[in-house]
Chain A
Amino acid sequence: MSSAAHHGHEGAHHPDQAHHFFSMEQQNAANKLGMWAFLVQELLFFGGLFMAYIAMRYMYPDTFHSAYQHLSIPMGAFNTVVLLTSSLTMALAVRETQLENRGKAKNYLVVTIICAFIFMVVKYFEYTHKFHDGLLPGKHFKGWELDAVQKVHDAPQLFFAIYFMMTGVHGLHVVIGIGVLMWLWVRLNKGDFDKNNYSAVENVGLYWHLVDLIWIFLFPLLYLVK
């Protein structure tokens, strides 16, 4: 943004247009394509986890069919609703930014951020419950007694390894999302963004929808195995 002021020698440019673009349209198009490319790499990043899930479930179908019962379906379902709601308010925030209603956009962002916090609080209670019951990944598993044969034959510790890694990486994305949403709120509060320059809001929206979308897959795969 500061570089635009520094090099803005051709006049009549949008104040937020960086020096190396011809036009705001070019800049917005570049930002949007960049974000989609980033989301593709996010999909492949999670793709590794989904492949690990498939491999483990293929190796231990019976374990997956029993171990999932230790997860709380009401809590997972509640969080699904929370994230879906936040996706809606995020989309509304993008729309209000396009219409230059910064006040409404800020309010929708606040609701989105609150939903994200609720999601993390519910996750916290789920995690502490698992910790308490010893339902932990790998060698830390203490949910029930396993002899050496059961350890490699039933391998419930692997279900919880997958559970914690998938929901943990997803939760990390929610936390990063909270930070980026707050940054957007601050910028809207300063009076940034207008109908020609909203790609930052739109891109964070795309990111947030992806985080939501990944949860939509995690919930049935982990909580609703049967």
Chain B
Amino acid sequence: MSSTSLDAAASGHGEESNYLNAHPGIGSWLTTLDHKRIGVMYLITILTFFLAGGLLALAVRAELFTAKGDLFTPDTYNKLFTLHGAIMVFLVLVPAIPASIGNIVMPLMLGAKDVAFPRLNLASYYIYVFGALFMVYTLVSGGLDTGWTFYTPYSSSHSNSSVTSALLGAFILGFSSILTGVNFMVTVHKMRAPGLTWTRMPLFIWALYSTSLIQILATPVVAITLFLLTFERTVGIGIFDPALGGDPVLFEHFFWFYSHPVVYVMVLPAFGVISETVAINSRKHIFGYNAIALSSVAIAAIGFLVWGHHLFISGQSELAGSIFSLITMGVAVPTAIKVISWIMTLWRGSIRYNTVMMYTLGFLWIFTIGGLTGLPLATLNTDVHLHDTYFVVAHFHYVMMGGVLFALICAMHHWWPLITGKMFNENIAKPVFWLVFLSYNATFLPQFVAGSRGMPRRYHEYLPEFEIWHKASTIGAMLFGLGLFLILFYLVASLLKGAKAPKNPWNGLSLEWQTSCPPPEHNFAGQPICKKGPYEFPETLSA
């Protein structure tokens, strides 16, 4: 680990210098400006919080195993699901793919030596950690019981839990997200290698670009909202408090103006990952490059105009509700364009059924279910029935958690050789995929049934007729947790005992595969020049 480039050159057969061993010691990691190391630090931190949020979810599922509230008190249960949601949304899903995988891969894909602002990149990481400390403080100082949405006036005037520290944590995390967005947006504009035109950019870059636009435009709105709410709770300024003449629905509008677009911050990078893995493992040019690229931008744009579908039963006017319903349907169009393009890419490709491809196909299944169940929720009159039921819970877990998590696992496997220089064991990974995939569906498909039959969300006791669906869901969740642990084990094992990764193990054409695995400290031996698009695979061009 401590060998420098000089040592390696002197010994002749020593390990070649790469970004992992270029500088020894933990201090060199904590002060690094290298986007790859920052991405690795993000990945480790995010996965740690994913573990915390996941254990909270398992506690929620354990309580729901029986219809009686026999494990936790109602107050504890409220805190469990709130903290699960807050940790998963603010600490895990928002930065999950862009800040970790995106940070590592994007400059490599662009043929750049780093992101545009390396110091800002490190600052974003530490701002993230700082915000995360507030969340950890919230966790240990009495928890949070408002739901991750912080609805007023409960959050401002009534809750006895640690709302203020959670608000400050989310506020600080927002700035980490904004600065990452600024950094990535400028990187895409200004750091591309010679010859890398906009239409030769890998689709993952297009997705990250659209994501960064949302981060810049939406996050500041929730930042000021949380700022106002902090003053509301500590000083009592009254803007969201009906007892002082304020308007709680205004808070809901503000909150969802960010929090709807933010689901696209989570899922657009996932789309980008799938565009890469589906093409590279079909050995075929992606179907509808322009359509996929521009549909990312379209989703980002339309996503700003749909927040009102979270307020269908808030007293918002029927006209506003109808318009929001219509625009929400509009998001389905660019999303469907993507799904159809991915399926058309598979068509007559020479498909490589490796682990990455299995997670890609798993994503397609899960995201299609998640997307289609969004339609009855976008429809004004059916949503009035389904609002605040487990149908909604299942829907957003299918898109946010299933979609994003399957894409994150997919991305970790796909770029694992690039990041670590090691190959994982496909023979173990494939059966684990089936465990993860089947248990995931076992967890959330029953929730659609329970929800459509009237099971409300956020209750720790429920009618016995729903017990069968909750039992299936809880068993699925436990197996899902087991599957994720197995992934962790075999990936860590690959670090210790895995075969050394060859250069370009998947025969990719995008620039990140044109350097060694793992890359040297400054990414490329010389300045790479892009001569053709990333999906012009020779196998299908000759066919």
Binding site for B on A (CB under 8 A): 3, 7, 18-20, 26, 29-30, 33-34, 37-38, 40-42, 44-49, 51-52, 55-56, 59-60, 137-140, 151-155, 157-158, 161-162, 164-165, 169
Contacts and interface: CB of A to CB of B under 8 A. Distances in A.
A4 to B, nearest CB: 12
B270 interface: no
A5 to B, nearest CB: 14
A59 B218 CA distance: 25
B244 interface: yes
B216 interface: yes
A45 B245 contact: no
B74 interface: no
B479 interface: no
B132 to A, nearest CB: 21
The winner among A19, A34, A158 for most chain B CB atoms within 10 A is A34
B182 A51 contact: no
B235 A140 contact: yes
B49 to A, nearest CB: 24
A30 B116 contact: yes
Q: Interface size bucket, B side?
A: 35 or more
Nearest to A48: B224
Given A60-B245, A165-B228, A45 B220 contact: yes
Contacts of A18: 118
14 contacts: A19-B522, A30-B116, A33-B185, A34-B116, A37-B216, A41-B178, A46-B224, A47-B221, A48-B221, A137-B237, A151-B244, A158-B239, A158-B245, A165-B228
A64 B118 CA distance: 47
Given A33-B186, A38-B182, 17 more contacts: A7-B522, A19-B113, A20-B112, A30-B189, A33-B190, A37-B186, A40-B217, A44-B218, A46-B224, A48-B228, A52-B254, A59-B245, A139-B244, A140-B236, A151-B244, A152-B244, A165-B231
A44 B221 contact: yes
B37 to A, nearest CB: 14
A48 B220 contact: yes
B217 A41 contact: yes
A20 B110 CA distance: 12
B30 interface: no
A48 B218 CA distance: 10
B305 interface: no
A25 to B, nearest CB: 10
Interface in B267-301: none
Contacts of B224: 45-49, 169
B114 A20 contact: yes
A48 B243 contact: no
Contacts of A30: 116-117, 186, 189-191
B244 A155 contact: yes
A51 B254 contact: yes
Contact of A137 (B182, B223, B235): B235
A30 B254 CA distance: 31
Interface of B: 33, 112-114, 116-118, 120, 178, 181-183, 185-186, 189-191, 216-221, 223-225, 227-228, 231-232, 235-239, 241-247, 250, 254, 522
Contacts of B217: 40-41, 44
B244 A138 contact: yes
A17 to B, nearest CB: 12
A52 B237 contact: no
Contacts of A140: 235-236
B236 A52 contact: no
B221 A45 contact: yes
A65 to B, nearest CB: 16
A152 to B, nearest CB: 4
Nearest to A138: B238
B238 A157 contact: yes
B303 to A, nearest CB: 15
A147 B227 CA distance: 29
Contacts of B182: 34, 37-38, 41
A137 B232 CA distance: 10
The winner among B181, B235, B245 for most chain A CB atoms within 10 A is B245
Contact of A157 (B181, B185, B244): B244
A49 B223 CA distance: 11
Contacts of B33: 3
A158 B246 contact: yes
B247 A20 contact: no
A20 B244 contact: no
B237 A161 contact: yes
Contact of B241 (A44, A45, A138): A138
Given A48-B224, A48-B225, A161-B238, A41 B219 contact: yes
A40 to B, nearest CB: 6
Contacts of A49: 224, 228
B243 A152 contact: yes
A41 B250 CA distance: 20
B522 A34 contact: no
B2 to A, nearest CB: 20
The winner among A38, A59, A155 for most chain B CB atoms within 10 A is A38
B190 A29 contact: yes
B225 to A, nearest CB: 6
A52 B216 contact: no
Contacts of B244: 138-139, 151-152, 155, 157-158
Given A44-B221, A45-B223, A162 B189 contact: no
Nearest to B117: A34
Given A48-B224, A138-B235, A55 B250 contact: yes
Contacts of B218: 44
A57 to B, nearest CB: 12
A56 B239 contact: yes
A48 B229 CA distance: 12
B220 A152 contact: no
Contacts of A52: 228, 239, 250, 254
A225 to B, nearest CB: 18
B516 to A, nearest CB: 19
7 tightest CB-CB pairs across the interface, nearest first? A155-B245, A138-B238, A48-B224, A45-B220, A20-B113, A139-B236, A20-B114
B116 A161 contact: no
A58 to B, nearest CB: 10
B243 A33 contact: no
Contacts of A60: 245
Contacts of B114: 19-20
Contacts of B227: 169
Contacts of B228: 48-49, 52, 165
A48 B254 contact: yes
Contacts of B120: 34
A197 B236 CA distance: 47
Contacts of B223: 45, 48
